Amino acid sequence: MIFLKGFLPRVGMVYSSHKNFLRGRAQDDQVVYALIQSGVIANRISQESDTNNKKAVDQALAGVFTLAMDPQIFGRLTAEGGGVLSLLCTLRNSIPWAQGMGQSVFVQLCQRLVEARQGWHDSPHPPFNVAEHSTTAQKIDAFLAVAGTRWNPVAFAMYSVLDSEQDNVVANGVVDPAAASTSGAEETSNMAGFMADATMPSMMGLLEWAMTEDEGTEEGERMDLDN
């Protein structure tokens, strides 16, 4: 069996112990299928091709964060009414191999890769020389250096709540490319509408309102206990 985590760059990254990298096996399979269909991963897996595949995947993932720093794409992060999700939506549409997966899967992929890199920074281990780290790790550092706090985890939390699309997988576990393509187009359209209607300030306001409501509820409970 082919697992996505088996192809991911290791040096300078920290992954969870879970077998799957994304939310589930179906999402991982979409990424693997997209990489195979685009020729990044060789269709026939052997010991010799395995090393080459890992190097190719490292370069492909590094290319995602390199392209994210392109002024025209990066501008989606800094523009009024834009944000991290707007950037990722535009980014996916600019990468041929990434178009073989749904928008929500691509968002998860980028989010988890950044988390894996930040995991190394939180708990460094050899090699400590960043120059020896994977190309993906180094490009994530470069991207985060310019993105700063604009790479906001709140956006991912909100997207995860609002995303109700089911990833398209046929019964035998192989991704249906036509379904994935359609799903990706629909999600891109939905994301554009979502970004237009709910910018980061409004999402932050929604979370602040929810937190205020929780605090009010807790205060009421404490008053009841005191009486």
Along the chain (227 residues), what's the average pLDDT of each consecutive run of 10 residues? 90 96 94 94 69 94 98 92 90 96 94 97 97 98 95 75 45 42 45 41 41 42 42
Long-range pairs of 70-76 with CB within 8 A, sequence gap ≥ 24:
74/146, 74/147
Please, which residues bridge with residue 175 across strands?
A: 169
Mutual orientation of helices 25-37 and 177-197 as an angle, nearest 10°?
A: 110
pLDDT for residue 161: 57
Residue with tokens 């041929």: 96
pLDDT value at residue 153: 78
What is the pLDDT at residue 183? 45
Q: What confidence score (pLDDT) does residue 90 get?
A: 95
> Distances in Å between the alpha carbon of 28 and those of 63, 123, 178?
19, 25, 17
Query: Does residue 77 contact residue 153 with C-beta atoms inside 8 Å?
Result: no
Contact (Cβ atoms closer than 8 angstroms) between residue 34 and residue 100 = yes
Provide the whole-model pTM. Answer: 0.73
H or E segment to which residue 182 belongs: helix 177-197
